[in-house]
Amino acid sequence: MALRVSSRSELPSFMVMDVLEKAERMKATPQPLLRLEMGQPSSPPPKPALDAMMRHIHDTSAHGYTLSRGTIELTEAIARHYGRWYGVDVKPEQVLVTVGSSLGFMMVFLTCFEAGDKIAMTAPGYSAYRNLMLSASLEPMLVECAAKQNWRLTVETLEALDPVPDGLIIASPANPTGVVMTGDELAEICRWCEKKGVRLISDEIYHGIGFGDADHSALQYSSSAMVMNSFSKYFAMTGHRLGWIIAPDNLVDPLDRLAQNCFISANTLSQIAGAAAMDNPDSYREMDSHVARYRVNRDLLLDRLPEKFLGRFPYPQGGFYIYADISQVSNDSVALTDIFLNDLYIATTPGVDFDEKRGHQAMRLSFAGSTEDMAEAATRITNWVNQNT
């Protein structure tokens, strides 16, 4: 008799990781393999972070456990960061350091919701939200946003939800669309959640990577929101798997107990690096120079890629993705992703990873790599579109 596998494990793939594996296994391609699939900066972490790791590499204490909520140095540095960037008073005790933001989301799901609760999220939206909800026996409520409305989530849309969800996840800048909420839009959503008794989870992982107005944190407008962030994107430390949660006082202890039992503590050397990066002005100057490059990359792709491939889509205001409307080129984004990888040697992500219903006509391109790679990708894609459509 075969032993069963739980239904909670029967999740869809996180498709970008499937593309990553295919790309990693490709050897000796006729042309250089261009990596536009991952939301991963090609730049190194800030020098203060690297220097701190090197100073502590032979320090025995840097290889042991830390407090489950994170080192005192890191939680204090994160709290100071919120005062500098947003003008909000965050207590270090509200900060919980996590093993990447992904595990942070799972911790929030398990702490704030019961099995069967409904959490609203946008479509298109980050697929791991949805998949993690399913594994926690929660029900995703997909709120369709349209390109002609600039992919924006509005209170009017939320008012139409039936039933009212137990939770709501928002992201600004958003993955994959690059939408950035204004302060007024974010404040209005915060007020709606508090009025309706909806737990707000604000994904602020791409903060710092914007091409217009300053980012706004949900902490500026709500005392009950759960704020999620990470060292992966702005600080270019994806492989360190270091994230954090800013939680209301009454949820700190439940989250801490979950962390104690789930992972004990995040990587100690990475926490040392994170604290050094966050408190050093040189880190921000270094990372801002990379953000300037992302803007150049974005503009280059939008200028050189054919309109037939890009389609009609809102201009990305933040993050480092273009969510192209490929409907004039293909109705099967998975198949087109395979063609691009196998024939053009360009790794991209199919839109169905972000929108199961409409994503077959969309493709996500990451412009976090080098400008030279973006220029070469634009040339290869343009030649293919001209030859095949």
Which CATH architecture does the domain made up of 12-43+284-388 adopt?
3-Layer(aba) Sandwich (3.40)
DSSP letter assigned to residue 318:
B
Classify 228 as helix, strand or coil.
Answer: strand
Say which residue the tokens 């990587």 belong to: 267
Q: List, in order, residues 6 or more apart from 315 with CB less than 8 Å away.
A: 178, 302
**Which alpha helices (DSSP H) does 57-212 contain, by range?**
72-86, 100-112, 127-135, 155-159, 183-196
pLDDT at residue number 314: 77
Residue that has been written with the tokens 């192209």 in this structure: 324
Cα-based distances in Å from 294 to 160, 183, 366: 37, 23, 10
Distance CA 186, CA 118 (A): 21
Residue 12 is predicted with a pLDDT of: 81
How many CA atoms lie less than 13 Å away from 191 in the CB half-sphere? 9
The DSSP 8-state label assigned to residue 300 in this structure reads H
**CA–CA distance, 329 with 347 (Å, rounded to integer):** 17
Q: Cα(170)–Cα(152) distance, rounded to whole angstroms?
A: 11
pLDDT for 5? 86
Residues 242-293 have pLDDT tens digits of: 999 999 999 999 999 999 999 999 999 999 999 999 999 999 999 999 999 9
Q: Per-residue DSSP letters for 12-63?
A: PP-HHHHHHHHHHT--S-SSPPEE-SS---SSPPPHHHHHHHHHHTT-GGGG
- Are the beta carbons of 329 and 385 closer than 8 angstroms? yes
Query: Residue 222: CA atoms inside 13 Å, Cβ hemisphere, count?
Result: 29
Neighbouring C-alpha atoms within 13 Å toward the C-beta of 128? 14
Q: Report pTM.
A: 0.95
Give the pair of three-digit tokens for residue 2. Answer: 């075969």
The pLDDT of residue 312 is 83
Could you identify the residue written with the tokens 């900066």? 41
**What count of residues does the chain have?**
389
CATH number attached to the domain at 47-279: 3.40.640.10
Residue 8 has a pLDDT of 81
> How are strands ordered across the β-sheet holding 118-123?
95-99, 242-246, 226-230, 199-203, 167-171, 118-123, 139-144
Model pLDDT, residue 91: 98
Judged by DSSP in three states, 242 sits in strand
Cα separation of 213 and 252, whole Å?
31
- CA pair distance 167, 340, nearest whole angstrom: 38
How far apart, in Å, do the first and last CA atoms of the chain sit? 53
What pLDDT is recorded for position 7?
83
Annotate 26-47 with b (16+ C-beta within 10 A) or e (fewer): eeeeeeeebbbbbbbbebebbe
Adjacent-strand bridge partners of 120: 141, 168
**21, burial (CB in 10 Å: exposed 0-12, middle 13-18, buried 19+):** exposed
Provide the token pair at 387. Answer: 């030859």
Two tokens at 70?
């994170």
Interatomic CA distance for residues 268 and 73, integer angstroms: 11
- Segments of the chain with pLDDT less than 70: none
CATH 3.40.640.10: which residues of the chain?
12-43+284-388, 47-279
Check residue 365 and give its pLDDT: 98
- Measuring CA to CA, which residue among 70, 66, 65, 92 is closest to residue 81? 92
Q: Peptide bond preceding 176: is omega within 30 degrees of 0, i.e. cis? A: yes
Q: 243, 104 in Cβ contact below 8 A?
A: yes
C-alpha span between 254 and 262 (Å, rounded): 12
